[in-house]
Amino acid sequence: MADQELLNLVQSKAKTWLESSIDPESKKEIEKLIQNDEYELIESFYKDLEFGTGGLRGIMGIGTNRMNIYTVGMATQGLSNYLKQQFGGQEIRVAIAHDSRNNSRLFAEKTASVFSANGIKVFLFEDLRPTPELSFAIRYLGCQSGVVVTASHNPKEYNGYKVYWEDGGQIISPHDKNIITEVQKIKDVGEIKFDDQLGNVEIIGGKIDVEYLNELVKLSLNPQVINKQKDLKIVFTPIHGTGVELVPKALKAYGFENVIVVGEQKKPDGNFPTVKSPNPEEPAALELALQQAKQINADIVMATDPDADRVGIAIKDNKSEFILLNGNQAAALLINYLISQWNSTGKLKGKEYIVKTIVTSELLKDIADKYNVECYDVLTGFKYIADIIKNKEGEMKFIGGGEESYGYLAGEFVRDKDAVMSCALLAETAAWAKENGKTLYEELIDIYIEFGLYKEKLISIVKKGKSGAEEIQKMMDDFRNSPPETINGSNVMLIHDFQKQKTFDQMSHLRYDINLPKSNVLQFILKDGSKISIRPSGTEPKIKFYFGVKDQLDKRENFDKINDLLEKKIENIIKSLGLK
């Protein structure tokens, strides 16, 4: 689209909003953009926010491409219309939660207002709550849908709106596309119904907390071990988010009595004043927690993101220095603990399974294979793990699952990644290791000795705005249409194209079907066993490259040497792809 054509489209959309029934303050903001900021006007109106892998998410502000009460209202009106189509003739019930971000309470109340105006029964949490508790509440309260207002670990400028279905999992096809279709039918913000009296809204809170924690405690596999190690030193930070209440309560319910919450990051605050980004995947977000952990010689450090569905973990290495675990390492520790303890307590009956995403370490599958536990691979996004749980319910037993992006789950009462649960179970894993005379670090090294030293790395290339989205798409097109024959001197043996739903065998030239939904993801499997995955982020202006390599490890003393060799191998792969 030519620049002038795009500007004309944007100005037309902005004018439509100006002539609508939006509030005077919002109209002033639009007029200011028209007069003074053409770039921001384009960014705010050049497209409509869409449901991606995480639902509706974007920078807060006025416009069709921004998070505001009107885009939230349109999404909720479209969702209301769809719910009436799907569940007409019965009482429709929804649950709503929100995190600590700026405007989250406002957006949650506006969401409740639109549902209420459409005759839908609403259960609105009284205050901020973790995303996994919303998933739990949907099934506990017999709801058909749910919404959590959050932008997860995005920077403070963002907010979002994640939609859940009656199984407690995030929406997947065809519901996601059908809801968007309903939203797109709404051409004017005046079509949004609001109920300022909130006549169909019931405030919920403490009772759901108790029921959720009761279920969480049932997951504990070794309460007697925790009782012996109840003084395990745990430093926790909610990074100004929703984990501040339930994570300490969950740890206490498990039996841990020595939990220190980082005071500077305890207060919920949407500006996240002590961090550049509230993302537990980034070392800087754990800096204050690590300082405190060093002062008291803690055993483990935990940090949850603003909506408490992801957790970052730090442990001490063999030099008693704190190191950050990546998502694959934490997942390996957790899954190995869960399956091994299910096995030792006689809970494995031959119908158990775990789930991981296609970009998560193959180490999880190796662990499952040892115990004859089925391992399912799904596309990136925890909603696909939830879908497997739903489809296997009553037939097989879900032990646990995870993804490399710091999200994990055990049991079946929650259908999304759960950092509250993960904190409790990883603390139990640490207690179990300590009871057996090992640190978590030594436990991880022993897992590598048994299954091989897997090393993974993720790099993200940020490309903001409309031009950035076009650059990301061109990169995907280039890798898809002109794939490399060799990477770092190793032949590309297999190409998994999840958009074409085909695997291409580069040696035999045969093609195989991929039985997963379409997704814009490419994977290259090399002759030396290396795995490279490429995908645009569904929630951020990024293209992500995942690297996985492996070598054998014979003893603990050789870990640093083999680890360094694998690090160099990944760096050479990155250079080979022209990314550095």
Give the separation between CA 547 and CA 573, rounded to whole angstroms. Answer: 8
Assess contact for 428 and 220: CB atoms under 8 A.
Answer: yes
206's tokens: 């403490």
- How far does CA 117 lie from the centroid of its chain? 31
Nearest to 98 by CA among 371, 306, 275, 319: 306
Q: What is Dmax (Cα atoms) for the chain?
A: 71
Give the separation between CA 309 and CA 386, rounded to whole angstroms. Answer: 14
Assess contact for 234 and 408: CB atoms under 8 A.
Answer: no
Assess contact for 78 and 180: CB atoms under 8 A.
Answer: yes
**3-state DSSP helix/strand/coil percent for the chain, to nearest 5?**
40, 20, 35
Backbone φ and ψ of 560, nearest 5°:
-60, -40
In whole angstroms, how large is the CA radius of gyration of the chain? Answer: 24
Active-site residue numbers? Answer: 152
Backbone φ and ψ of 481, nearest 5°:
-85, -25
- How far does CA 182 lie from the centroid of its chain? 26
428's tokens: 């139990």
294's tokens: 């060093």
3-state SS, residue 553: coil
DSSP letter, residue 259:
E
> Three-state SS string across 58-104, please?
EEECCCCCCECHHHHHHHHHHHHHHHHHHHCCCCCEEEEEECCCCCH
**DSSP symbols for 324-369:** EPPHHHHHHHHHHHHHHHHHHTT---S-EEEEEETTS-THHHHHHH
Nearest to 540 by CA among 470, 460, 457, 479: 460
- How far does CA 161 lie from the centroid of its chain? 13
